[in-house]
Amino acid sequence: MPGAAELSILVNPEDLDAEVGPAFLTRCFASPWTGAMYRWYLQRSFAGEPPDRFILMEDGCALAACGVVFRQLRTQDGEVHPAAVALAAATLPGARGRGCYTRVMQAVVERSASRGCAVLLGFVTAGNTSGRGLARLGAIALPSAYLVSRDRPAGSQTGTLRLRDAKAADDWPLRAAARLHPPAAPAGFHYPDARAWRSQMVDRPNGVQSLRVGATCRAVVERVADTDRLQWLDGDERERVAAIHALMARARRHGRRFFMYSTCPHEIAAARRLGLTAHPGYLMVLALQARYAAALRDWAGMSWHVQSGDRM
């Protein structure tokens, strides 16, 4: 068509950070992105796998972008599957409604499949445009919840478990894995070694505190602006809810908000009883290999244990 703008997808372009870096994402999301966030979320390798970045260009200008990081999932049978996670999918406000997201995701699907991934994952809130786009591609939706503290006090702050500062040790993920024995263990993310776990949970872009809670629980909390984000919690099932209560109370004592993410229905219900507000969401899972298309029906019926730090 004469005069039509030329659209193209660039994969991992060099020398475009100034155009599609933190300032670009801040414009798209209407919330600030820092250089540290940009490097951690979009430029960090995981277990030796470098990430991908997809940029939709029009006549030399970026309209939309999406990052993809490569992770591992463990299903209830104990099998580990390579997975791609789409994140920071963003379109400039003036370019929305033109099918930019669809163009980018088509490239993401093709590239992730070529890199041997079994599935593509996306973490979305209910009603999110990206979630609807993945659903149109055939993704299943696993229910989750984004849990945040209310402005008013969240229940009693007395009688909570004791919290102690601790140094996150390499045996923390090993202890957590020891609690998970197939086939009863829930499905979730797999960390091949302590270094990969630390990269995801401890070496985060904001200040991180590691804590012992009560007799059995260990927690990793990231301090993001005015909010304590519970990124990882391990411990005896009988003590986990009390540990969440203690961490909520700790945040409030310091004048801070509290956030956690969960795919466990009983944990979500317990957090709501403690006073957290639940915003529904989904872990979207799209099969990238033919043999996984039918398997996703079984995945939808599995119990999943995914925490905030697992997401991205």
What pLDDT digit, counting tens, does each position of 268-290 carry? 999 999 999 999 999 999 999 99
Tell me what pLDDT residue 66 has.
96
3-state secondary structure at position 113: helix
User: Measured between alpha carbons, how far is residue 184 from residues 164, 190, 266, 308 in Å?
Assistant: 31, 16, 16, 22
Q: How confident is the model at residue 22 (pLDDT cuts 50, 70, 90)?
A: very high
Contact predicate 255/241, CB 8 Å = no
Measured distance CA(253)–CA(77) in Å, rounded: 42
Q: How confident is the model at residue 4 (pLDDT cuts 50, 70, 90)?
A: low
Higher pLDDT, 5 or 207: 207
Evaluate if residue 312 carries a pLDDT over 90: no
Measured distance CA(296)–CA(140) in Å, rounded: 7
pLDDT in tens, 31-54: 999 999 999 999 999 999 999 999
Higher pLDDT, 18 or 249: 249
Contact predicate 234/175, CB 8 Å = yes
- CB atoms inside a 10 Å sphere around CB 46: 17
Q: How confident is the model at residue 157 (pLDDT cuts 50, 70, 90)?
A: low
Tell me what pLDDT residue 15 has.
81
Q: How many helical (H) and strand (E) elements, i.e. helices and strands, does the chain have?
A: 11, 13
Mean pLDDT computed over 168-178:
91
Evaluate if residue 55 carries a pLDDT over 90: yes
Tell me what pLDDT residue 1 has.
43
Phi, psi of 35 (to 5 degrees): -60, -40
CB crowding 246-259: b at 16 or more within 10 Å, else e: bbbbbbbeeebbbb
Counting residues of the chain whose pLDDT is more than 70, the rounded percentage is 94
Evaluate if residue 165 carries a pLDDT over 60: yes
Evaluate if residue 128 carries a pLDDT over 90: no
Q: Domains of the chain (ranges plus CATH)?
A: 7-144+281-311 (3.40.630.30), 148-279 (3.40.630.30)
> What's the mean per-residue pLDDT of the chain?
92
Of the listed ranges 13-17, 35-39, 305-309, the one predicted with least confidence: 13-17
